[in-house]
């Protein structure tokens, strides 16, 4: 099982200690705290043997298509290990351009069943980043039943929603104040905070609590999950977490001290053990 | 030249019949499972069969939403469900999951498959992918403008459907799990709790809100026809009969008058006022003519207003008496308007009112009770005509 990370700054990419990184691409990524230019990506790729994945997960508009075409051709040449995609235009462009670049199905809240994973696999998609609103039981079932290579995000402040609208700008305009690019909003019923960030693509929503999936890594490992992902944003002592997690995996996830130690990340396990409902009893 | 389709929501069999009678060319409905309005009444297989039969006799069509984001467990029964719905006579499925698209096109090639707006399809290249999978129609993302829609139509072969009226999501459809996190109700399996209409605390002096105004594209129907859109979709499977009758009837008139060349500014003003009257929120065209901005949303929490214009639903008209179910209080002396599914509007002052036992009364005050009112009319007044208030005497 490999450990991919998504960093929250350009200061430290942790390439020495992880198996690979996910780099958001300037202007074409959303739900990421930091993004990289194509030149920066080339330089990183040229200086490491670790796996490099690129995130192009915005909802693409017509005007984006020609530019994305050029980007995909360039990424194919560079030899990155995969492109996380949301918009199906990416899959179509790969086919039209005859590119060999691997793709990661990354439709944030939609990657929820093994049959659709297999559908994408049949279309040449190698990986799927599973949804974060499904249970561990569902995740294991997908890993076991689908031919696609599953990726599971185990530590992060999860992405909750994305709007094309400039919601922070609008809020501050109504207030008559100068805007910030970030805003914490507090939901009263659940007494929980959400972080909003805004850029030229729109507004991203994150749950402002770290999901702590360190306790499920062993079960993922035992079920032959190929990749887990940790995102740096909001996580303290991230470097130590990566090192410890790599050691934990190397030792077949039998070190109980690891799980005990990382209880410090908090007790939020998101939907790993909580099933959502959709029919409300009347 | 093929005329543009007016596509109406229908949360139950009665709404299906009423909206088709009021001028919809097709309706979209939900089954008991797999639809994004899990808490609407929705249709049993027998009701789907009856609805399809009713629509087909009128030369109209029924589309079924099968647009949840599927979990493993949802896949277990869906293939049987699809077969049952096809056997019931459905004309098209509205789907977001490409596995389901592929399954339907492989097994039922004569049934249309439409890509749900849940996919927020926003460019021509993504549509080309789905065309290669056999998709017949794409319901575009609501974040697109006229220029983008037009460019897509020029570059693809499948039909294009756009939303023209009703409530809006703040986030990209399918790209929002706020309901999951805040209420544990799965937004993408039909449980959306509309968290984007909640208000939130911040460190600033005012609550944060993001609720959007509704969409109203009445002024731009001609533009949508001219650029080659195939279908105009109204939102609102859980809306009232009166609302749907008014909205569908009004858009029917706008479309027909546009083709006939009789949609004058004055007529448009009257029709727009009719739509405004049943709206419970302010409206906007959002992205159609400009990038959506701060004017398209609310800053004061939930902003719905209730509307008590709707007075009654006609059961029959015989011997100068209109028999109807009462919906809201009114009385003798009030000025009311009766409108029919075929678009006739009759205004009059209520002169005589009777209860169900034909006792003369001054007021109708019991919703759902049957009343009669006197009306001399040469115009046919069929079942499902509606009565609304114009002016109260007091």
ipTM: 0.96
Three-state SS for A199?
Answer: strand
CATH number of the domain to which B331 belongs: 2.40.30.10
Choose the final residue of a domain: B261, B296, B331. B296
Whether B70 contacts B35, CB under 8 Å: no
Chain A residue with minimum CA distance to B118: A110
| Alpha carbon separation from B261 to A113, B255, B256 (Å, rounded) | 51, 10, 9
Whether A186 contacts B202, CB under 8 Å: yes
Residue B78 shares a structural domain with residue B102: yes
Averaged in consecutive runs of 10 residues, what is the pLDDT profile of chain B (394 residues)?
Answer: 94 96 97 83 94 98 96 94 98 97 97 97 98 98 98 98 97 97 93 94 96 97 98 93 96 98 98 93 95 94 76 96 96 97 96 97 95 95 96 90
- CATH 3.20.20.70 maps onto chain A at 2-157+210-265
Whether B37 is in a domain gets the answer yes
**Integer distance in angstroms from the first to the last C-alpha of chain A?**
45
pLDDT of residue A120: 98
Residue B292 shares a structural domain with residue B323: no
Is A109 in Cβ contact with B204 (below 8 Å)? no
Residue B257 shares a structural domain with residue B353: no
Whether B241 contacts B324, CB under 8 Å: no
Count: domains in chain B: 2
Residues of B in contact with A118 (CB under 8 A): 99
Whether B305 is in a domain gets the answer no
Residues of A in contact with B99 (CB under 8 A): 113, 115-116, 118-119
Choose the final residue of a domain: B296, B328, B344. B296
Q: Which helix (H) or strand (E) holds A163?
A: strand A159-163
Count Cβ–Cβ pairs < 8 Å, chain A vs chain B: 206
pLDDT of residue A260: 97
For residue B298, the distance in angstroms to the closest alpha carbon of chain A comes to 10
Is A162 in Cβ contact with B175 (below 8 Å)? yes
Q: How many CB atoms lie within 10 A of CB A234?
A: 18
CA distance A205 to A183: 10
Choose the final residue of a domain: B265, B296, B327. B296
Average pLDDT over residues A9-15: 96
For residue A183, the distance in angstroms to the closest alpha carbon of chain B comes to 8
Residues of B in contact with A163 (CB under 8 A): 170-172, 176, 210
The 3 state secondary structure assigned to chain B is: CCCCEEEEECCCHHHHHHHHHCCCCEEEEEECCCCCCCCCCCECHHHHHHHHHHHHHCCCEEEEEECCCCCHHHHHHHHHHHHHHHHCCCCEEEECCHHHHHHHHHHCCCCEEEECHHHCECCHHHHHHHHHCCCCEEEECCCCCHHHHHHHHHHCCCEEEEEEEECCCCCCCCCECHHHHHHCECHHHCCCCCHHHCEEECCCCCCEECCECEEECHHHHHHHHHHCCCEEEECCCCCCHHHHHHHHHHHHHHHHHHHHCCCCHHHHHHHHHHHHHHCCCCEECCCCCCCCCHHHECCCCCCCCCCCCEEEEEEEEECCEEEEEECCCEECCCEEEEECCCCCEEEEECCCEECCCCCEECEECCCCCEEEEECCCCCCCCCCCEEEEEECCC
Q: In which domain, by residue range, is B37 found?
A: 5-296
- When CB atoms are compared, the residue of A65, A161, A279 closest to B178 is A161
Whether B30 contacts B37, CB under 8 Å: yes
Residues of A in contact with B206 (CB under 8 A): 174-175
For residue B72, the distance in angstroms to the closest alpha carbon of chain A comes to 5
A114-122 helix and B98-107 helix, angle to the nearest 10 degrees: 80
- Enter the tokens of residue A259: 């799980």
Whether B69 contacts B95, CB under 8 Å: no
Per-residue confidence band for A278, with pLDDT thresholds at 50, 70 and 90: confident
DSSP letters spanning A221-261: HHTT--EEEEE-TT-TTHHHHHHHHHHHHHTTT--HHHHHH
Residue B99 shares a structural domain with residue B27: yes
Residue with token string 């944003």: A233
For residue B219, the distance in angstroms to the closest alpha carbon of chain A comes to 23
Residue B277 shares a structural domain with residue B338: no
Residues of A in contact with B200 (CB under 8 A): 185-188, 194
Chain A residue with minimum CA distance to B286: A165
Q: How many CB atoms lie within 10 A of CB A224?
A: 11
Is B38 in Cβ contact with A166 (below 8 Å)? no
The DSSP bridge pattern shows strands B159-166 and B137-139 to be parallel
Whether B215 is in a domain gets the answer yes
Average pLDDT over residues A275-280: 82
Whether A241 contacts A156, CB under 8 Å: no
Whether B143 contacts B164, CB under 8 Å: no
Whether B209 contacts B201, CB under 8 Å: no
Residue B283 shares a structural domain with residue B387: no
Higher pLDDT, B81 or A189: B81
CA distance A13 to A19: 11
Whether B91 contacts B104, CB under 8 Å: no
CATH number of the domain to which B107 belongs: 3.20.20.380
DSSP-assigned beta bridge partners for residue B335 = B349, B391
Whether B54 contacts B48, CB under 8 Å: no
CA distance A193 to A207: 7
**Integer distance in angstroms from the first to the last C-alpha of chain B?**
51
Residue B162 shares a structural domain with residue B262: yes
Residue with token string 């559908």: A119
CA distance A129 to B152: 29
For residue A75, the distance in angstroms to the closest alpha carbon of chain B comes to 19
Residue B129 shares a structural domain with residue B168: yes
Residue B273 shares a structural domain with residue B372: no
Whether B247 is in a domain gets the answer yes
Whether B324 is in a domain gets the answer yes
Chain B residue with minimum CA distance to A160: B177
Q: What DSSP character marks residue A271?
A: T
Q: Which residues contact A247 (CB under 8 A, 6 or more apart)?
A: A255, A258
Residue B239 shares a structural domain with residue B347: no
Q: Which residues contact B78 (CB under 8 A, 6 or more apart)?
A: B33, B34, B66, B70, B100
Is A110 in Cβ contact with B69 (below 8 Å)? yes
Residues of B in contact with A280 (CB under 8 A): 38-39, 185, 191
Residue B319 shares a structural domain with residue B177: no
Chain B residue with minimum CA distance to A204: B171
Chain B residue with minimum CA distance to A90: B126
DSSP-assigned beta bridge partners for residue A277 = B185
For residue A33, the distance in angstroms to the closest alpha carbon of chain B comes to 18
Q: Which CATH number, 3.40.225.10, 1.10.150.130, 3.75.10.10, 3.20.20.70, labels domain A2-157+210-265?
A: 3.20.20.70
Per-residue confidence band for A281, with pLDDT thresholds at 50, 70 and 90: low
- Enter the tokens of residue B227: 């650029």
pLDDT of residue A280: 66
pLDDT of residue B3: 96
CA distance A248 to A225: 15
Whether B325 contacts B237, CB under 8 Å: no
Q: What DSSP character marks residue A204?
A: E
Is A112 in Cβ contact with B72 (below 8 Å)? yes
Task: Provide the phi-psi class of B263: left if phi over 0, else alpha when psi is between -120 and 50, else beta.
Answer: beta
pTM of the model: 0.96
């Amino acid at each position: 099982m490999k450990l991919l990370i998504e960093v929250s700054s350009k200061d430290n990419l942790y390439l020495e200690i992880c198996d690979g990184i996910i780099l958001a691409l300037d202007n074409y990524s959303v739900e990421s705290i930091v993004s990289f230019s194509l030149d920066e990506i080339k330089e990183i790729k040229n200086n490491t043997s670790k796996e490099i994945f690129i995130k192009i997960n915005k909802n693409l508009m017509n005007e984006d298509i020609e530019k994305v075409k050029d980007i995909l051709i360039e990424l194919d040449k560079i030899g990155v290990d995969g492109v996380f995609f949301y918009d199906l235009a990416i899959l179509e462009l790969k086919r039209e351009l005859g590119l060999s670049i691997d793709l990661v199905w990354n439709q944030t809240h939609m990657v929820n069943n093994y049959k659709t994973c297999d559908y994408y696999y049949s279309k040449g998609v190698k990986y799927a980043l599973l949804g974060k609103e499904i249970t561990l039981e569902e995740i294991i079932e997908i890993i076991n039943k689908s031919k696609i290579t599953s990726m599971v995000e185990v530590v992060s402040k999860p992405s909750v929603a994305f709007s094309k609208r400039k919601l922070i700008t609008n809020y501050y305009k109504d207030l008559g104040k100068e805007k910030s690019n970030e805003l914490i909003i507090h939901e009263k019923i659940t007494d929980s905070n959400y972080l909003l960030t805004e850029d030229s693509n729109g507004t991203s929503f994150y749950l402002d609590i770290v999901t702590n999936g360190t306790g499920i890594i062993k079960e993922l490992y035992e079920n032959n999950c190929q990749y887990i992902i940790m995102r740096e944003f909001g996580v303290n002592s991230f470097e130590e977490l990566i090192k410890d997690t790599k050691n934990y995996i190397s030792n077949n996830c039998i070190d109980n001290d690891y799980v005990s130690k990382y209880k410090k990340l908090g007790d939020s396990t998101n939907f790993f053990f909580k099933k959502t409902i959709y029919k409300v009893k009347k | 030249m093929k005329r543009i389709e007016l596509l109406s929501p229908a949360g139950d069999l009665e709404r299906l019949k009423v909206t088709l009678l009021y001028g919809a060319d097709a309706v979209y409905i939900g089954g008991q499972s797999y639809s994004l309005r899990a808490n609407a009444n929705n249709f049993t297989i027998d009701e789907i069969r009856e609805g399809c039969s009713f629509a087909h006799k009128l030369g109209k069509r029924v589309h079924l939403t099968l647009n949840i984001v599927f979990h493993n467990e949802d896949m277990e029964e869906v293939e049987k469900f699809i077969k049952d719905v096809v056997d019931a006579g459905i004309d098209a499925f509205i789907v977001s999951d490409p596995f389901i698209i592929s399954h339907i096109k492989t097994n039922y090639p004569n049934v249309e498959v439409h890509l749900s707006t849940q996919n927020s399809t926003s460019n021509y290249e993504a549509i080309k992918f789905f065309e290669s999978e056999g998709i017949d129609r794409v319901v575009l993302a609501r974040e697109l403008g006229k220029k983008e829609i037009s460019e897509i139509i020029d570059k693809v072969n499948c039909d294009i459907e756009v939303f023209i009226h009703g409530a809006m999501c703040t986030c990209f459809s399918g790209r929002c799990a706020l309901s999951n996190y805040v209420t544990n109700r799965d937004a993408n399996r039909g449980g959306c709790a509309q968290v984007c209409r909640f208000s939130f605390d911040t460190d600033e002096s005012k609550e944060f809100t993001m609720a959007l105004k509704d969409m109203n594209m009445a002024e731009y129907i001609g533009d949508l026809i001219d650029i080659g859109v195939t279908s105009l979709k109204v939102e609102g499977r859980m809306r009232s009969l009166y609302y749907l009758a008014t909205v569908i009837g009004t858009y029917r008139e706008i479309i027909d008058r546009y083709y006939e060349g009789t949609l004058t500014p004055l007529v448009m003003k009257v029709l727009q006022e009719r739509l405004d009257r049943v709206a419970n929120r302010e409206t906007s065209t959002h992205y159609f003519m400009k990038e959506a901005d701060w004017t398209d949303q609310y800053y004061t929490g939930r902003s719905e207003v209730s509307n008590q214009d709707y007075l009654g639903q006609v059961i029959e008209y015989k011997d100068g008496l209109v028999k109807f179910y009462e919906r809201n209080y009114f009385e003798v002396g009030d000025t009311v308007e009766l409108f029919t599914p075929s678009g006739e509007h009759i205004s009059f002052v209520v002169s005589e009112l009777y209860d169900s036992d034909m006792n003369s009364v001054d007021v109708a005050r019991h919703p759902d009770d049957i009343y009669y009112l006197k009306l001399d009319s040469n115009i046919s007044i069929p079942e499902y005509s509606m009565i609304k208030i114009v002016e109260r005497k007091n």
